[in-house]
């Protein structure tokens, strides 16, 4: 049995029933149930969430990608900083990355003011954080592998020199 197959199908659509997954993988339903229980118990599957196209709601959310640079010392490591930041409900994702900055943080709020205040009052004051750069999300075209929008083609004129 391939837990990987079950996992890929759950990532594709977490609403598939165990019967659906069994049919698609040629496994027995009880094997699929056991695989899902094992994936959940070991923490491989951490939760199930809907992918939301916020642009289609009047109650729009403000989202931002925040670059964070940090300075480490002997007592404080990346894990320590991430634990402090991840506890805030405004932080939707937090990743240690390679490149010009250390952490990539996704933040959500009800307004630009709320997001800005969160970053300036809760994130920037963390002693190890030396710099924040905030990029507000204007439009999302794809989230978690799912294309968003109405599916209409881009109406801008193409340009070729």
User: The CATH number of 54-143 is which of 3.90.79.10, 3.30.470.30, 3.30.70.920, 3.40.50.2300?
Assistant: 3.30.70.920
Residue 61: band (very low, low, confident or very high) from pLDDT cuts 50, 70, 90: confident
Q: Could you give the residue range(s) of every CATH 1.10.10 domain in the chain?
A: 2-41
Q: Are 19 and 29 in contact (CB under 8 A)?
A: yes
Quick one: what percent of the chain has pLDDT higher than 90? 47
Give the CATH fold of the 2-41 domain: Arc Repressor Mutant, subunit A (1.10.10)
3-class SS of residue 134: strand
- pLDDT tens readout for residues 118-159: 999 999 999 999 999 999 998 888 887 778 876 565 555 555
Residue 49: band (very low, low, confident or very high) from pLDDT cuts 50, 70, 90: confident
With a CB cutoff of 8 Å and minimum separation 6, the contacts of 103 are 67, 68, 70, 78, 81, 82, 85, 94, 95, 96, 97
Q: Are 143 and 106 in contact (CB under 8 A)?
A: no
**Phi-psi region for residue 17, left (φ > 0), alpha (ψ -120 to 50) or beta?**
beta
CB atoms within 10 A of CB 119: 22
Structure tokens at 156: 């801008």
* Residue 81 reports pLDDT greater than 70: yes
Cα separation, 79 vs 95, in Å, equals 11
Q: Could you give the residue range(s) of every CATH 3.30.70.920 domain in the chain?
A: 54-143
């Amino acid at each position: 049995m391939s837990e990987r197959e079950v996992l890929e199908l759950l990532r594709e659509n977490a609403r598939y029933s165990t019967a659906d997954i069994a049919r698609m993988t040629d496994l027995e339903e009880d094997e699929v149930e056991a695989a899902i229980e094992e994936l959940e118990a070991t923490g491989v599957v951490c939760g199930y969430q809907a992918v939301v196209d916020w642009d289609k709601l009047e109650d729009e959310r403000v989202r931002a990608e925040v670059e964070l640079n940090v300075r480490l010392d002997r007592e404080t490591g990346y894990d320590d900083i991430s634990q402090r930041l991840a506890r805030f409900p405004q932080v939707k994702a937090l990743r240690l990355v390679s490149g010009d900055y250390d952490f990539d943080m996704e933040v959500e709020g009800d307004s630009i003011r709320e997001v800005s205040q969160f970053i300036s009052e809760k994130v920037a004051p963390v002693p190890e954080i030396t710099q924040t750069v905030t990029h507000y999300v204007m439009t999302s075209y794809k989230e978690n592998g799912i294309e968003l929008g109405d599916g209409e083609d881009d109406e801008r004129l193409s340009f070729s020199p």
